[in-house]
């Protein structure tokens, strides 16, 4: 069976996108987009879960409780870094006369309504193009990025499954593809013993 091709941001692309938004734009749209992407890159939230957040869902929280697909509830731990980003974003919202009461939408549009999924896709298209990245990325690419980052960092598919809230581990297996660099690393683990015709595996 042919492996599904998954679009995601490499570490360099992720940094380039966020740096461009931060350095070249200081308006409300840029601030909202920058924080939204940081939050999604830190939690692996689906787009619908992200735009559905209220201020009370993230304020003073160490764990994000999300009701995802099929009304399934899951907990996502928040790192100290993203908790600080949340604090700064809520402070910025307050200074810009945006509601910060617990039931208020975390992300709002220019019309002061909850931002919609189409709007997020449109904004991402714009930022990706302006940052000089090639191709088209959907907001789900941010979630895929988290999957690949976690797989590289933990090498534990069960941890990735639980973090992303996948019902089936088959879904998580899209993040287990092997790159050419990883294959070369495997080759370096094998040495040919001059006195033996067999390959010897080197264990650390």
The helix or strand, by DSSP H or E, that contains position 74, with its residue range, turns out to be strand 73-77
Q: Is 177 a catalytic residue?
A: no
- The token pair at 91 is 């402070």
Q: Which of 8, 37, 137, 175 is catalytic?
A: 175
Which is catalytic among the residues 32, 46, 93, 144? 46
Give yes or no: 137 in active site.
Answer: no
Return d(Cα 202, Cα 109) in angstroms, integer: 56
Answer yes or no: 87 catalytic.
Answer: no
Asked about 143 being catalytic, the answer comes back as yes
From the list 28, 83, 114, 140, the catalytic residue is 140
127 touches 20 (CB < 8 A): yes
**DSSP SS3 for 65:** strand
Among the listed residues 24, 69, 112, 152, the single catalytic one is 69
Q: How many angstroms separate the CA atoms of 138 and 131, rounded?
A: 15
Among this protein's residues, is 46 annotated catalytic?
Answer: yes
Residue in the block written with tokens 């040919």: 192
Report angle CA 163, 168, 174 to the nearest 5 degrees: 75
Number of residues that this document lists for the chain: 204
The 8-class DSSP code of residue 107 comes to S
Q: Three-state DSSP class for 122?
A: helix
24 is catalytic: no
Tokens of 148: 């690949």
Which residues are known catalytic residues? 46, 69, 140, 143, 166, 175
């Amino acid at each position: 069976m042919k492996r599904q091709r998954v679009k995601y941001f490499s570490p360099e692309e992720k940094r380039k996108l966020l740096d461009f938004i931060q350095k070249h734009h200081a308006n409300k749209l840029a601030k909202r987009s920058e924080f939204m992407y940081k939050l999604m890159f830190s939690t692996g939230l689906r787009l619908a879960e992200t735009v559905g957040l209220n201020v009370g869902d993230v304020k003073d929280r160490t764990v994000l409780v999300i009701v995802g697909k099929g009304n399934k509830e899951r907990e996502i731990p928040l790192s100290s870094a993203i908790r600080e980003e949340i604090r700064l974003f809520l402070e910025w919202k307050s200074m810009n006369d945006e509601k910060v009461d617990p039931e208020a939408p975390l992300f709002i549009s220019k019309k002061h309504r909850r931002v919609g999924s189409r709007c997020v896709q449109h904004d991402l298209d714009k930022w990706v193009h302006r940052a000089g990245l090639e191709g088209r990325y959907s907001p789900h690419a941010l979630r895929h990025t988290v999957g690949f980052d976690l797989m590289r960092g933990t090498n534990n598919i069960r941890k990735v499954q639980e973090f992303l809230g996948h019902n089936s581990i088959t879904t998580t297996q899209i993040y287990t593809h092997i790159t050419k660099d990883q294959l070369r690393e495997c080759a370096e683990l094998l040495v040919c013993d001059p006195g033996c015709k067999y390959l010897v595996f080197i264990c650390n």
